[in-house]
Each structure stands twice: as C-alpha cells, then as structure tokens.
Amino acid sequence: MRTDERAAAKLRATIFDVARHAGVSIKTVSRVVNNEPNVREATRDKVRASIDALHYRPNAAARGLSAKRSFVIGLIYENSEEFSYTKDLLSGVLGACETHNYSLLLRPLTLPSAEVSHSIHSFIRLTAAEGVVLPAPIGDMPEVMQVLSGLDVPVATISPKHPRSADISVYCDEADATFRLTEHVLALGHTHIGFIKGHPDHRASHERLAGFTQALQTNKIGLDASLTEDGFFTFESGRQAAFRLLRRERPPTAIIATNDEMACGVMHAAHELDLHIPHDVSIAGFDDTAVASRLWPPLTTVRQPITEMAEAATSRLIQRLIGDEPGAPEACSPGLFPCQLVIRRSTAARS
Amino acid sequence: MRTDERAAAKLRATIFDVARHAGVSIKTVSRVVNNEPNVREATRDKVRASIDALHYRPNAAARGLSAKRSFVIGLIYENSEEFSYTKDLLSGVLGACETHNYSLLLRPLTLPSAEVSHSIHSFIRLTAAEGVVLPAPIGDMPEVMQVLSGLDVPVATISPKHPRSADISVYCDEADATFRLTEHVLALGHTHIGFIKGHPDHRASHERLAGFTQALQTNKIGLDASLTEDGFFTFESGRQAAFRLLRRERPPTAIIATNDEMACGVMHAAHELDLHIPHDVSIAGFDDTAVASRLWPPLTTVRQPITEMAEAATSRLIQRLIGDEPGAPEACSPGLFPCQLVIRRSTAARS
DNA sequence: TTGTAGGCGTTATCAG
DNA sequence: CTGATAACGCCTACAA
C-alpha cells in the first residue's frame, strides 16, 4: 500500500492518502480542509477522522503554487537601536498571522538609505508577499508607498501620519495621552514645564505636542514657546535639549520628553548637572519601553498597546486579502486605540 | 504571444517565458538560475539577459514543491521581556538566510510552558523548516532536542550548555570575558567583591562563575563563598541578591552581576539604600544590552558578538543542508567567539 | 553541452 | 453534494 510506504519512509501523508483512507475523492478532502461548503456533515466528519489518523498537513508549497497565493505577510520595519517597540510589534503581527495560517517574512530597513525602494521591491518580488504591515515611520515614506502601490500590494500602516494614505491603518490617541500626562504633571504643581518634541517625520510628534499645548490651555497656563525644544527621538537629542532647558536662567521644574529614549537623555543631563530627580526636576517619557522601569528613579511614561494595534492591523489586512465581507465584526474593529498613563517615581510634587 | 499576455496581465514571467525569450530549453534556464555547471558561457549570458529583460524571479512555491525542499529556516526563541538579545540574534540569523536565499520563520516560546514539545512539533510540520536555530536556553531543553531529532531536523545551537548536543553550535568564551572583567575590578583596588550568579539552566551561568573564581585565584584573592549569591538573570533576583550583599556587616565594595538585567536590580537596591554608585559600590553587568548605556552611571559590562554568532550558526546550518563539502572554509569557521569588555562609569577605584 | 518527459501536492473547472 | 482531470512552475532523471 502506498500509504504504508509513505509512513515507512517517514513521508508526510498527502491529500491522496487521506482521500483513500476516507473513501472519498481528493476534492472532497480539499473542501473539508478549506472549510468549503457542499460537503455532507457525515462525510466531513469521516474526512476529519482520516486527517487526524494520518496526521495530514497540507503542503504549503503545493497549495501556494496551485492557488497562486503565497500566504505570506511581509513586515517592513526600521531596524533601530530601540527594540522593545519592534518586539511588541512582532508579537502582534505574528499572532495574527498564526491565527489566520499565514507566514510572516521580515524585512528590516536600516535608515536612512537610498536603496529603500529597491530593497522593498525585491523583497516583494522574491517573497510574493500578499500584503505588508508598515509600522511608523516606514508607512510615512512616500517612496515606500509608491513602490507598494505600483506592485499592487495591500498595506496596513501602524501610527501613520495620514491614516487615509493606506488601505488599513491603526493608531493611538497620543494627543489625549499626552494631555493626561501633562495634567498629571500640572497636578503636581508644576507650571513651568519643558517639552521636547520628537522627529517631525512621525505622526506621534505632532500629536504629542498638540496634547501638551491643549492641556496647558485647558488649565489656563500660558504656553512659553521657549520651553519647547526640538528633539528627534534619539538619546543624544534628548540630552542636548535638556541641557538647553536646564541651563536657562529659570529652568523648568519638570520636563516632558516625547519618548523614553529622550527621557533617558534628559536624566543623563540632569545627573551631569548634579540635579536630583525628581526633587530638582521631574521627568516624564513616552512609550514605556523596557528601560523605563529599569532607570532610577523609574520613569513616568505612557504605554501604547502596540501588540494589540499590530495584531488588529494584521488581522484586518488578512481579512481583506481573504476577501471577507467588510461587514464582519473584526473588519469593523476600530482603528483608534487608547493609551495608558504609567506613573512612576520620576515625577513628583514641585518642591 | 503568451509572454505579452502575461506582461499585460501583470503576471510574473515563468521559466518558460525566459526559455522562449532566450531561445533555449527550460532546463538550461534552470541550470543558469541555480548556477549549475554544463552551460556554455555564451548561453549563460544570453539566458541572464533574458532573465533581466523579463524581470524573472523563480517561483518559490513551485521550486519547493518540485525539489521537495522548503528553503525555510526556523528560529525558536524565548519570548522574554529583555529583547535586545533577540534583536541581535534576529539580525544575524536573518542576514545569513538572506545571503543563502532562505526564508526565516519565527516561533517565539513563552516559558515555562507544558506545550513546548507540541508547539515545536506543529511548527516544524506546518512550516516544513529544513533546519532550526536554537539560541540559549532553548537549545538546552531536552524535550525540544528530542522532538527535533525525532523529526530529523538539523539543529544549530547558540551558547548551549553542551556544545556536542547539537549538529552545529557556536558559543563565546564567557569564562575568559568574566575573568577579564574581574581583573578590571581587581585592578581598581577592590578585593571584597560580590558576585551574583545566573540561572543554572544556562551555560553562561557556569562559565561566568568559573571565570570569576579563576581571576580571584590568579590574583591570589581568597574566595569568600558567602559573597557569591544566587540569581536567575531577572531584575528582581538581582535586586534581592544585592540587598543581601549590601546589608552585610561588611558589604562588598564592588558587585559583579552576571547579566545587565540583574545589574539593574543591583543599582535599584543601591539607590534604595542611599548608596552612591560608583563611590560606595562599583557595579558591573554582562551582555551590554540597550539599557546598559542608558543607566546612570552607564554600566560596565561585556559585549558578546551575538549577531556574528547567530550569523555563523545559521550559515553553517544552511551549508550543511545544501550539502557543501565540509572542507569549505566557512564550514570550518570556529564555533568559539571572543567577547569584548565594555568599561563605563559604574566601576571606579575603591574609595 | 543541451533538451524531453514526468511528477511534486494542491486548487479550480466542470461534469455528474 | 461529489469526483475526474487539468493546471500551477519548477526540478530530477534520463536522453540525445
């Protein structure tokens, strides 16, 4: 018997083996495997039993070849130093891929680079990815979007500057989060607050600044524009901005950096100036990266549900690929997610 | 013409299109694509030109189906909180996969878990991975190795406890690195040094302890066993161990934690006890994770060439899969890598 | 050095 | 509801 031969040779059972075992045709097995209609329930059970008995798993290559689909999702991300964002991202995207039986292929990008377009083009051609997930700031790069739309590949963006630019996009209410973060600082008695902006290419930068100014307005605190410094989401830019702020004649009693990396830089600057945190200056960050809880004092910050956002974006992307009715509940899942304020000891009442 | 139809329909060119364009048979095209011998140079050039002209890319599914290979490498890793290790790992493995035209599929594991065997089994069956890369501590889990050898999948381990347990393995001279780290601390005048061990399941723990005791011996410093505390590579275990050490009647003037996570814990403990670093106590870690340079003061630690190790392990694995002669230079690349001492400001001369 | 035939394990088409 | 048969694009074996 051929089936036995296979088993003896440790070969995987094929759809033919299952069909023979169940006494049906391969097409019926195929129907069962793919949850297609038009199979009597009894037949379906019989086939399922055979599948279990033979430990049958469909061959991905054959399936892809025949169906002209790759069942591959591509994740294109910036291969930056800070990795906890990517870690959470990966968890979410991978989770969604697994539940939908898709494979995930990675394409890290080292920015800035002149070869981005080419790199992405060959990535798509080679992997035949059916759709790609683009976390910030990749989803905001015009050349990337151009290549992708030229290749006719559906895209899901995470935290893009312009939600409308992609087929699917998810983001956070970062303005609201920064608003709440600022109110927390204000509630501690600080009125002279330094603010370090993020890289202008990120949606996040504008959102966060907006939330900050909004909070000042709401609380009737005049905005001192000179207390708002440029930053680029890097450690060193945060450190430099902090030096500028802390060496002022009348330095701020609290500094809000728009990400944890820069908040680290602020802490270093404060230490270098022999300032005590939070006694002399309160410090807050944004992102709740792994370092935030490791610093001393632990950093007050904001956590975004990155994993959930990534999972939602990917699920919606796959649903679109499969062609599910857009009326399905998941397809309508909101693109806007809430952030969570994480208060630690780096912020304290004004002394 | 069929070729034109394809172009019009935006379909990828196939091997037939290239063959027709170049005026040869598909087998010749196949030979050129796979760099097989027995093709006249002129013919080869002609085919290459056609490949370029038609933007031909072999269809991975068809190739895999026919050749009965998946061209997939699996990476099974622990999905822990600390991710910079995994980040470096990923870079290396991905790099090697790309240069050899393999795809990388990920399987994060949340430990401890009772379903590890099952998870890995279905991962391999589903992805048909030809080989897997196992970073520590996954490569030391007997049930994992058992499943994999039962499935007859070649394995490359990174920093395993027993290098011989896998087909291929790479590791670092962590004992030597810890020896040098300890000598650095000794050179600063410290003779009363606390040491926090790592999780006993990791090869690293034993190596690092060995390097430490060796350094003490070499420098004729008596080993005070009571200054060696248990730790498990976690932040909290480091913090607790530090409390035990620093509350002693005669506390150590320096503490070596066997990873950065625990060193963070030591720093927190020191701060909580109002001790100044490095004035009251010098602190060193191991791994040079992202946090190390962000802490204040920046942490003295040891950097392992994780990326290079991962790349080497993966390359060797793939070469084995391809069946290259083991005499090839890369195949003989050493399994032992050097570590680098990174001296920062958390260690200073004894006061 | 080059080409031909057959098959890899699915899914799609269309007939029963 | 079910099944025979033809793709899908490539590689291996064997011829020429």
Are B106 and A91 a contacting pair at CB < 8 A?
Answer: no
Looking at beta carbons, which residues of chain A come within 8 Å of B152?
10
Instruction: Evaluate if the CB of A33 falls below 7 Å from strand C.
Output: yes
Q: Which nucleotide is nearest to B26 (CA to C1')?
A: C3
State which protein residues have CB closer than 7 Å to strand D. Answer: A 23-28, 31, 37-40, 43-44, 62, 65-66, 68; B 11-12, 14-16, 26-27, 30, 33-34, 56, 58-59, 62-63, 65-67
B contact set with A (CB within 8 A): 10, 12, 55, 57, 59-62, 64-65, 70, 79, 81-84, 86-87, 90-91, 94, 103-106, 108, 125-128, 152, 235, 264, 267-268, 271, 290-291, 294-297
Q: Please, which pLDDT band fits residue B161 given cuts at 50, 70 and 90? A: confident
Which bases of chain C come closer than 7 Å to a protein CB? 1-13
- The gap between A90 CA and D8 C1' (Å) is 32
Burial of B9 (0-12, 13-18, 19+ CB in 10 A): exposed
pTM of the model: 0.88
Is pLDDT of A245 > 90? yes
pLDDT in tens, A304-332: 999 999 999 999 999 988 875 444 444 44
A contact set with B (CB within 8 A): 10, 12, 55, 57, 59-65, 70, 79, 81-84, 86-87, 90-91, 94, 103-106, 108, 125-128, 152, 235, 264, 267-268, 271, 290-291, 294-297
Find out whether B310 and B158 touch, Cβ atoms under 8 Å. yes
pLDDT at residue B111, as a whole number: 80
The pair of three-digit structure tokens given for residue B289, joined into one six-digit string: 């994770």
pLDDT in tens, A19-78: 999 889 899 999 999 888 888 888 899 999 999 999 999 999 999 999 899 999 999 999
What residues are paired with A2 via a beta bridge? none
Find out whether B229 and B237 touch, Cβ atoms under 8 Å. no
Higher pLDDT, B291 or A188: A188
Find out whether A70 and A64 touch, Cβ atoms under 8 Å. yes
Which distant-in-sequence residues (6+ apart) come within 8 Å of A271 by Cβ?
Answer: A277, B296, B297
- The gap between B49 CA and D9 C1' (Å) is 20
Which H or E element spans position A62? Answer: helix A60-67
pLDDT in tens, A99-155: 999 999 999 999 888 899 999 999 998 899 999 999 988 998 999 999 999 998 999
pLDDT at residue B11, as a whole number: 66
What residues are paired with B105 via a beta bridge? B74
**What is the nearest CA distance from A195 to chain B, expressed in angstroms?**
20
CA closest to C6 C1', residue: B66
Q: What is residue B285's three-state secondary structure?
A: coil
Sign of CA dihedral A187, A192, A196, A202: positive
pLDDT at residue B324, as a whole number: 57
Closest-approach residue (CA) in chain B for A150: B10
Closest-approach residue (CA) in chain A for B55: A125
**Mean pLDDT along residues B42-55:** 90
Find out whether A301 and A288 touch, Cβ atoms under 8 Å. yes
User: Minimum mean pLDDT among A217-226, B260-269, B317-326: which range?
Assistant: B317-326
User: Minimum mean pLDDT among A174-188, B150-164, B306-320: which range?
Assistant: B150-164
pLDDT at residue A293, as a whole number: 92
Q: Strand C and chain A: which residues 8-27 have CB closer than 7 Å?
A: 11-12, 14-16, 26-27
Burial of A198 (0-12, 13-18, 19+ CB in 10 A): buried
Find out whether A156 and A168 touch, Cβ atoms under 8 Å. yes
Is pLDDT of B329 > 50? no
Which residue in the set B64, B83, B267 is minimally distant from A87, CB to CB? B83
d(CA B128, CA B314): 17
pLDDT-above-90 percentage for chain A: 70
Q: Which nucleotide is nearest to A67 (CA to C1')?
A: C11
Instruction: Evaluate if the CB of A66 falls below 7 Å from strand C.
Output: yes
What residues are paired with B228 via a beta bridge? B195
The position carrying tokens 């410094």 is A229
Q: Please, which pLDDT band fits residue B209 given cuts at 50, 70 and 90? A: very high
The pair of three-digit structure tokens given for residue B140, joined into one six-digit string: 């030391």
**Mean pLDDT along residues A239-256:** 97
Q: Please, which pLDDT band fits residue A84 given cuts at 50, 70 and 90? A: confident
Closest-approach residue (CA) in chain A for B68: A61
Q: Please, which pLDDT band fits residue A334 given cuts at 50, 70 and 90? A: low
The position carrying tokens 């069909």 is A19
Are A87 and B86 a contacting pair at CB < 8 A?
Answer: yes
What residues are paired with B195 via a beta bridge? B228, B256
Is pLDDT of B327 > 50? no
Bridge pairing between strands B340-342 and B301-303: antiparallel
Q: What is residue B110's three-state secondary structure?
A: coil
- The gap between A24 CA and D2 C1' (Å) is 8
Strand ranges (E), chain A: 72-78, 103-109, 131-135, 155-158, 168-172, 193-196, 228-229, 254-257, 282-284, 301-303, 336-337, 340-342
pLDDT at residue B279, as a whole number: 96
Q: Which domains does chain B have, with CATH numbers?
A: 2-58 (1.10.260.40), 71-172+307-336 (3.40.50.2300), 174-304 (3.40.50.2300)
d(CA B211, CA B262): 18
Is pLDDT of A8 > 50? no
Instruction: Phi first, then psi: give them for residue B243, nearest 5 degrees.
Output: -60, -45
Mean per-residue pLDDT of chain B: 90
pLDDT at residue A10, as a whole number: 57
Find out whether B32 and B44 touch, Cβ atoms under 8 Å. yes
Q: Which nucleotide is nearest to B18 (CA to C1')?
A: D9
The pair of three-digit structure tokens given for residue B75, joined into one six-digit string: 């990476």
Which residue in the set A64, A81, A86 is minimally distant from B61, CB to CB? A64
Which residue in the set B12, B65, B128 is minimally distant from A65, CB to CB? B65
pLDDT at residue B113, as a whole number: 87
